[in-house]
Amino acid sequence: MILDNEFVFIKDNKDVICGIVTIYDIALQFKHLSEPFIEIQLIENSIRKFIDNNIQKEIFADFCKQKYPERKIENTTDLTFGEYMGIIGNNELWNNFNINLDRKAFIEKLECIRLIRNDIMHFRIKELSKKDLKNLKDVSKFFRMIERLNN
């Protein structure tokens, strides 16, 4: 019905019209529900690319075999978010990233994102706070900026 008319009336229990829902309302709700998942996807894809573009495959493979011997990690898509952080935060690997950032502060920000990500992906929260959404968007934007600088 809403697709045909682009709106529906809402009636109360006395059959009196008490509101309206439009396609725009539904689009806003969809954006609100999907945006955190999309930002997380962008961040995780950017982190994978960040690692792939800066750590040689042999170094990556050797590091993963030593650090995560119980896991079969062939490429960055096999990593957990915590494992991304283990690679990026590693003292010996940090210089490979060739980025002028405080490593500790960067890892702290990624830890914040990891906690938000886990809450979202494991459905532990009903609604994401504006602060957490801003954190996701800021980190996503940061990685897009790095990608542009490296191209």
Q: Which domain holds residue 56?
A: 34-150
Which pLDDT band holds residue 148 (cuts at 50, 70, 90)?
Answer: confident
**pLDDT digit string, tens, across residues 21-61:** 999 999 999 999 999 999 999 999 999 999 999 999 999 99
In a domain, 17, yes or no: no
Burial (CB count within 10 angstroms: exposed 0-12, middle 13-18, buried 19+), residue 133 = middle
pLDDT at residue 109 is higher than 80: yes
In a domain, 143, yes or no: yes
pLDDT at residue 151 is higher than 80: no
In a domain, 84, yes or no: yes
Q: Are 89 and 103 in contact (CB under 8 A)?
A: yes
Summarize the confidence of residues 110-137 as an average pLDDT: 94
CA atoms in the 13 A half-sphere facing the CB of 59: 15
Summarize the confidence of residues 112-133 as an average pLDDT: 93
Say how many C-beta atoms besides its own lie within 10 A of residue 39's C-beta.
24
In a domain, 93, yes or no: yes
Map residue 100 onto helix, strand or coil.
coil
pLDDT attached to residue 47: 97
In this prediction the pTM is: 0.87
- Overall domain count for the chain: 1
pLDDT attached to residue 3: 83
CA-to-CA separations, 31 to 28, 42, 79, 130, in angstroms, rounded: 5, 15, 28, 14
**pLDDT digit string, tens, across residues 60-73:** 999 999 999 999 99
Among residues of the chain, what percentage have pLDDT more than 70?
99
In a domain, 23, yes or no: no
pLDDT at residue 149 is higher than 90: no
In a domain, 139, yes or no: yes
